[in-house]
Amino acid sequence: MQQRRRPATPFLWGASTAAHQVEGNNLASDWWAREGRQAGMARSGDAVDSYHRYDEDMRLLAAAGLNAYRFSIEWARIEPVRGEFSRAELAHYRRMIDTAESLGLEPVVTLHHFTTPAWFAEAGGWYAADAVERFCAYVERATSILGDVRFVCTINEPNMLAMMSSLARAAAEGRLDEWQSPTVEGGRPTVFPAGDEATGRLLIAAHHAARDIVRARTNAAVGWTVANTAPEALPGAAGRLAAEQWIREDLYLEASRDDDFVGVQSYSTMTVGPDGVLPTPYSPTNTLTGVAYRPDALGIAVRHTTQVTGGMPILVTENGIATPDDSLRIDYTDAALRGLFAAQVDGADVLGYLHWSLLDNYEWGHWDPTFGLVAVDHETFERRPKPSLSWLGEVAKNDAAVQRKGTDE
């Protein structure tokens, strides 16, 4: 293994977004095509027009006192037609990086966040014989704008992507006709199947190949971001829990051991019985994505990731709650951070905390689950920061002051 890269940054405090969920009009992507086809699925449309308003969005973050912004660059824009790369779109994303840097925000750049170009999906997606090669061709071009970027995430939530890819293949083969959102299924208690191991191995190969390109062509620390499950076993289900956690999470954590960092993404817990994962029972305290209110999941996830990866540096790349009640968002985040710092005291190597999400955005087929620190008017695109944004900014500023004091002494 080559020596791990560890950029000299202060603790990163910020928020995350993903291109398709905020930019709008991601016309050449597989999700755009899918939104048009499937009944009951809200369209992303203009999303929140962050493609044109990223400057304003980043200014809100910086003004609140935060120092990092995780966003994704969109493969479907950069390579809308196979083999045809858009210099203008690369320049657009380079401007985003420059804007972040000029505002004192550390850009954390994700190369793939659930969407692909439609042509890639039509050619078989990750199951096509040349899928890794095609992804790497995109990553090579993308690295041309990433020279000075210090944190790059290759693939967002490969474990969720494996599940979505398996389901998309089942639908294409006529074995499944219902649309499934990665995070919400119409409020019904749904248990998503785990992605199969073969699909997971394809994504691992893609990640490792992309990682090598990023390392060769940039100075960035590189990793991927895994959806953490924080499972709990019912009596008699410990064995089943280990099996479920391996196929849903640990397969991907183990594959990150030679990376520079690993992204932890945590929202809630999952309950496992002797026959498998159980649907979350209805409760008035469930969040708008139908999961249990469990801010302690983050601490559980960070401890588990530390253990499985042998103590790798962890960047919390997503953590948040879908709720219309912003004071609940503050309570949730406060409790999650306490769990995070307790894990840190116990030895977890934590590089930063990036909240999901900066904006109320397009939640993969739905608009109701609002995760944002900032609300957006869908007619005018006016940004309305919520109290949670300034609250998180204060937490960051206090932490920075404590760190400064520590180095002065």
**Which residues does the annotation mark as catalytic?**
157
d(CA 167, CA 162): 9
Interface with ligand BGC includes 35 (CB under 6 A)?
no
d(CA 120, CA 130): 10
- Residue 318: its H or E element: strand 314-319
Whether residue 247 contacts residue 178, with contact meaning beta carbons closer than 8 Å, is answered with no
Whether residue 199 contacts residue 126, with contact meaning beta carbons closer than 8 Å, is answered with yes
Residue 20 tokens read as: 């398709």
Interface with ligand BGC includes 50 (CB under 6 A)?
no
Strand partners, 355: 15
d(CA 28, CA 31): 9
Please choose, out of 43-51, 120-128, 153-161, 169-177, the segment that lies near ligand BGC by the rule CB under 6 A: 153-161
Residue with Cβ nearer ligand BGC (49 or 185): 185
| Contact track, ligand BGC, 173-202, x by CB under 6 A | ---------xx-------------------
Q: Identify the residue among 157, 185, 249, 259 touching ligand BGC (CB under 6 A).
A: 157
Interface with ligand BGC includes 160 (CB under 6 A)?
yes
Residue with Cβ nearer ligand BGC (215 or 371): 371
Task: Give how far Cα 121 sits from Cα of 18, 127, 218, 229, 348, Å.
Answer: 19, 9, 28, 27, 38
Q: Identify the residue among 156, 165, 229, 388 touching ligand BGC (CB under 6 A).
A: 156
Residue with tokens 């990866």: 309
Q: Identify the residue among 329, 363, 373, 376 touching ligand BGC (CB under 6 A).
A: 363
Residue 136 tokens read as: 């790497």
Output the smallest distance, CB 81 to ligand BGC, in A: 26
Residue with Cβ nearer ligand BGC (151 or 371): 371
Residue 148 tokens read as: 């000075």
Please choose, out of 25-33, 152-160, 186-194, 297-305, the segment that lies near ligand BGC by the rule CB under 6 A: 152-160
d(CA 302, CA 336): 11
Residue with Cβ nearer ligand BGC (10 or 193): 193
Q: Give the residue nearest to ligand BGC (CB).
A: 183
Strand partners, 68: 14, 106
d(CA 61, CA 13): 10
Residue with Cβ nearer ligand BGC (289 or 306): 289
Interface with ligand BGC includes 155 (CB under 6 A)?
no
Output the smallest distance, CB 333 to ligand BGC, in A: 14
Residues making contact with ligand BGC (CB under 6 A)? 18, 21, 156-157, 160, 182-183, 227, 265, 289, 318, 356, 363, 371
